[in-house]
Structures are given as C-alpha cells and as structure tokens.
Amino acid sequence: MGEASIHIFDQNGSKEAVSTKAESTYYMYILGNGRGALYVGVTNDLERRLYEHKRKQVDGFTRRYAIDQLLYFQEFPLAQEAIDAEKRIKGWTRKKKLGLIREMNPTFEDLSKDWLTD
C-alpha cells in the first residue's frame, strides 16, 4: 500500500504536502493574545509554527491581532485527523473553545513561553 499525502495551506496560501504515515505527528492548536482573540490552526511542527507566530512571520489574522500564545494543543498520528479536529473546533462557540482550553490549561498560560531562547 502506497503512502498517501494531503496538502495543508497556511494563511499565506503556501501549500505543504504532508504524509499520512502513522509515525508522523500532527497538531491542532489554539492560540490567544491575552485580550480575548482566539485562533485555531494545524501544523506538523508545533515548535516551528509557534516560532513563526511569535516572530510575526505569519501574515493575516494572527499577525494583525498579535495572537501568539499557545493555550491548547492536541497531537494526532495522521494529518487528516488533525485537520478534522481543527475544522470541528473552528465551528464551536467561543464558550466551548474556552472550556476545552480550560481542561488542559486552567490558568490560560502560554504553553510555549519558554520555547524561544534568542
């Protein structure tokens, strides 16, 4: 059986082909800005993606509203599972998203605050 791949598009419209092999890890994540804005995204490299958000390298909503605090994330073995979770959660009410964050991160601290060393 051959390896399948799917494409993930970032906010800039750049396309990234990702494998659906089970040994990879994919992430659905929720960011905030400390002033109430939330963003739900998906990536195959959470640390790299947060670096990009924190350095304002990602044009669009997250850059415009300074959304760069990792409040929640979930790991998946398949890219499609992460994408499905992202789509599902994007459809939720704000209250439900906040409840999900509260389960993992009751103090709403930036889970990536110590990731950047430079």
Q: Is the pLDDT of residue 9 over 60?
A: no
Nearest Cα residue to 71 out of 115, 92, 40, 101: 101
Residue bearing tokens 């300074």:
66
Band of pLDDT at residue 114, cut at 50, 70 and 90: confident
Phi, psi of 116 (to 5 degrees): -90, 130
pTM of the model: 0.79
- Arithmetic mean of pLDDT over the chain: 86
Q: What is the mean pLDDT of the segment spanning 35-63?
A: 94
pLDDT value, residue 69: 96
pLDDT value, residue 24: 87
Band of pLDDT at residue 58, cut at 50, 70 and 90: confident
